[in-house]
Structure 1
Amino acid sequence: MIEIYTDGSSSGNPGPGGYGVILRSGQHYKELSGGFRKTTNNRMELLAVITGLEAIKAPNQQVTIYSDSKYVIDSIEKRWLQGWVAKGFAGKKNKDLWLRYLAISKMHQIKFVWVRGHNGHPENERCDVLAVAAGKQKDLLIDSVFEAEAGK
């Protein structure tokens, strides 16, 4: 059983942002984070989930993902994502990340748990600290897909 805790943030929407991830399984514990010069909160929330899943080495794991993002959880659990795929993501944002999520999600058995953000949940609070700090780094990455789409 692997637990993944995630959070994303952006200072401005769009603006500089980051994601934070905690992976935990038994005695194993790992933190991941990254920051981008121009992105959105929803992109960072979704990228946190993807990054956590991509960090798992062995396939077919039972994974519980804890997130405070209704956007991410509702899109998956309420099956909105399936509808977006069927319609070719017409009028929907973040197609690149959703396709990346779909590819990695097939590798594992995933369960989502929503946690209220900024409500004292220790791992969610830690992920928030990681995400905010990542978005404040000097050498931020370029979210090239987002910037290209935003420039249209």
Structure 2
Amino acid sequence: KYVVDAINKGWLFSWVKKGFKDKKNPDLWRQILPLLKKYNPTFQWVKGHNNHPQNERCDALAVVESKKKGLPVDAGYEQSL
């Protein structure tokens, strides 16, 4: 919900203007910004773990991918520690 609201409610663009002051994951937000401008996607929040077919599929894919060896280090997260 946080990501969807940040984009749909315009929070992200105010964070950009403020240089992401006191915001978490600025490195990830900076990566998504050009993609938002290029593709102009729409976002809709879906309650998780509620038997929504697409959400269940995404959850299953995320679990599989998270268990793979050799995942790159999240440098932005590591730097924030």
Scaled by the length of structure 1, the TM-score of the pair is: 0.50
- In the alignment, what sits opposite 2:5? 74
Tell me, what secondary structure is at the counterpart of 2:68? coil
Tell me, what secondary structure is at the counterpart of 1:112? coil
Specify which structure has the higher proportion of strand.
1
After superposition, the CA RMSD in angstroms is 1.3
Tell me which amino acid in the other structure corresponds to 2:59. D
Scaled by the length of structure 2, the TM-score of the pair is: 0.88
1:88-134 alpha-carbon deviations (Å, 9 max, x no partner):
11111111111111111111232111111111111110110111122
1:111 to 34, 38, 42: 42
Residue 108 to residue 139, structure 1, CA distance change in 2 (3 Å): closer
- In the alignment, what sits opposite 1:134? 65
Specify which structure has the higher proportion of helix.
2
Tell me, what secondary structure is at the counterpart of 2:43? strand
**Identity value in percent:** 52
Tell me, what secondary structure is at the counterpart of 1:119? coil
Is there any run of 5+ residues in structure 2 with no aligned partner, and where?
Answer: none
Equivalences, count: 81
State the shift of 1:140 in Å: 2.6
Q: Which runs of 4+ in 1 moved over 3 A?
A: none
2:29 to 98, 107, 130: 98
State the shift of 1:138 in Å: 2.8
Is there any run of 5+ residues in structure 1 with no aligned partner, and where?
Answer: 1-69
Question: Which one scores higher on RCO, CA 8 angstroms, separation ≥ 6?
Answer: 1
